[in-house]
A and B are shown apart, each in its own frame.
Chain A
Amino acid sequence: AQKITQTQPGMFVQEKEAVTLDCTYDTSDPSYGLFWYKQPSSGEMIFLIYQGSYDQQNATEGRYSLNFQKARKSANLVISASQLGDSAMYFCAMRVMYSGGGADGLTFGKGTHLIIQP
């Protein structure tokens, strides 16, 4: 079974500092996708970034980058120059495709509550 582990329940970071949110995963499938979502206090889930297992380069989206270390099975999210609006829950997730087709839902970690302090 696929599993996502986020070891940081909460983090406090000073505004403008860079933040690294940890995520490790476990799967025996060679083809998989890794996602990060942000959930502000309002509750909506906002997609941030995606990394495919066969992608040669680390994914980047604006201030977000994904530090993908395949051998270590880690997919840490890096937020550069943090802002007060980055305060939220952050979830790491993984999708695995079944060879038989159909769809599989994302498997989520338990999340990290990030608080940016002024």
Chain B
Amino acid sequence: DVKVTQSSRYLVKRTGEKVFLECVQDMDHENMFWYRQDPGLGLRLIYFSYDVKMKEKGDIPEGYSVSREKKERFSLILESASTNQTSMYLCASSLAGQGTAGELFFGEGSRLTVL
């Protein structure tokens, strides 16, 4: 069964802390994504990666960075967390070479609260 695992379901951090959100997929997918979900705004793409060590900015990359050192792992980093980064973060992966098809497989989400 396909699986995308996010390391923490719930996190509470303080303003200014460095935050790591980890995501691991076991499907050998080339593509991995980080989204944030906020009420009334839907899902917005932060960063994505189509290969190890490759990364591309999405629609809202400011305040975030990512790391992909291994194919199965994609990390989202908040260098200095701020209260406006309180949100639900969703990791997803997909197989390359699917053209416009190729569904995204999502993790269960990490709900981050920054105090």
For window 56-115 of B, CB contacts with A under 8 Å fall at: 56, 58-59, 88, 90, 92, 94, 96, 99-106, 108-109
Query: Given the complex of chains A and B, what is the CA–CA distance between A82 and B101 in angstroms?
Result: 27
Q: Is the CB of A44 within 8 A of B106?
A: yes
When C-beta atoms are compared, the residue in chain B nearest to A113 turns out to be B39
Q: Is the CB of A102 within 8 A of B56?
A: yes
Taking CB atoms, residues of chain B closer than 8 Å to A107 are: 45, 59
Known A91-B42, A105-B35, A110-B41; contact A52-B104, beta-carbon cutoff 8 A: no
Taking CB atoms, residues of chain A closer than 8 Å to B105 are: 47
A81 at the interface (CB under 8 A from B): no
Q: Is the CB of A109 within 8 A of B42?
A: yes
For window 8-62 of B, CB contacts with A under 8 Å fall at: 30-31, 33, 35, 40-45, 48-50, 54, 56, 58-59
Known A45-B90, A52-B100, A102-B56; contact A108-B43, beta-carbon cutoff 8 A: yes
A32 at the interface (CB under 8 A from B): yes
Known A103-B48, A105-B48; contact A47-B100, beta-carbon cutoff 8 A: no
Taking CB atoms, residues of chain A closer than 8 Å to B33 are: 105-106
Q: How large is the interface on B (under 10, 10 to 19, 20 to 34, 35 or more residues)?
A: 20 to 34
Query: Given the complex of chains A and B, what is the CA–CA distance between A45 and B43 in angstroms?
Result: 11
Known A53-B100, A95-B100; contact A108-B42, beta-carbon cutoff 8 A: yes
Known A103-B31, A103-B48; contact A110-B42, beta-carbon cutoff 8 A: yes
Taking CB atoms, residues of chain B closer than 8 Å to A97 are: 99-100
A50 at the interface (CB under 8 A from B): yes
Q: Is the CB of A44 within 8 A of B108?
A: yes
Known A109-B42, A110-B41; contact A102-B50, beta-carbon cutoff 8 A: yes
A44-B106, A103-B50, A103-B96 provided; 12 other pairs, C-beta below 8 A? A33-B100, A97-B99, A102-B54, A103-B49, A103-B56, A103-B94, A105-B104, A106-B43, A108-B43, A110-B40, A110-B41, A110-B42
